[in-house]
Amino acid sequence: MSFSAGAKAELCRDKLQKKCCAVAEACGVLLYCGSVTPEQIRIVTESADFAQRLPRLFFRAFRVDFDETQIGSKFTFLLHDRDKIAAIFSAIGYSPESSITLHVNYALLENDCCRRSFLRGVFLCGGSVTDPEKRYHLELSTNRRKVSLETHSLLLDQGFSPKETVRNGSNILYFKQSEAIEDFLAYLGAPVASMGIAEAKIEKEMKNKINRIVNCDNANTSKIVEAAQNQIAAIHRLDARGELEALPEKLKETARLRTENPESNLAELAALFDPPLTKSALNHRLRKLCELGKE
């Protein structure tokens, strides 16, 4: 199951209690579904959980049953009966005689529970959320420009700030910030999905932190190895020229310990001296060997 399907399944477990909320949710579905005309209502979904909820939702909201249900790669619900369609239009405050476009009836959304239910219906029918392991993206899509603008205003009133765009003739409201997606899913009634976004974000941050540490360690190791190789090369040149034995005892001891411990860093190498040297003193001796050993 995809992350989006899981979020919708969680929302569909919410019980249909108040009729006003059922009407508001069904209104959100109708404004974001495939086709709504006085002759036909057609709702298409890929979600099996939403397909199970939809008939119960419409019966609770409007006391109507669908005239036809088609099941294939998607679920299609159809209403042809004009009396049923007229009853639904009346319930959501839409009159084909007085308006040629569907719109959000704010009179149905006076209570916060109804606004939440409306937006739940919008997401169930026209929404999707990307797997947070890949990226952060939630969108609400409809081919009705006026409906999208009114939904945007409603979201702003509820404290959400989605971005807007148009893609292939569809009007899109979307979120790309993980915190905004978390808050929106939790508001709709999907706390598990919301927590999934938060957990994915924490996991990504931990992986990035570990990668930064590993990269830093690798870079430091490379520098240590490169410095040691340069020091040992200088010592070998001194030895090849017969100059190594003529050096002061302290430098000869430093040359011996460095060649015997090529992978040790300054702290590890300084600890091998008797008595142990400070890193500053050891660094001074190694720089002196490199200067003497220049070609």
Q: For helices 3-12 and 191-240, give the axis angle rounded to 10 degrees.
A: 150
Instruction: Count, in order, helices (H) and strands (E) of the chain.
Output: 11, 8
> pLDDT class for 57, splitting at 50, 70, 90?
very high
Does residue 187 have a pLDDT over 80?
yes
pLDDT (tens digit, 9 = 90+) per residue, 221-279?
778 788 888 888 888 888 888 888 888 888 888 888 888 888 888 888 889 888 888 98
Mean pLDDT of the chain: 89
What DSSP designation does 293 have? T
Give the tokens for residue 258: 């460095």
Reported pTM: 0.71
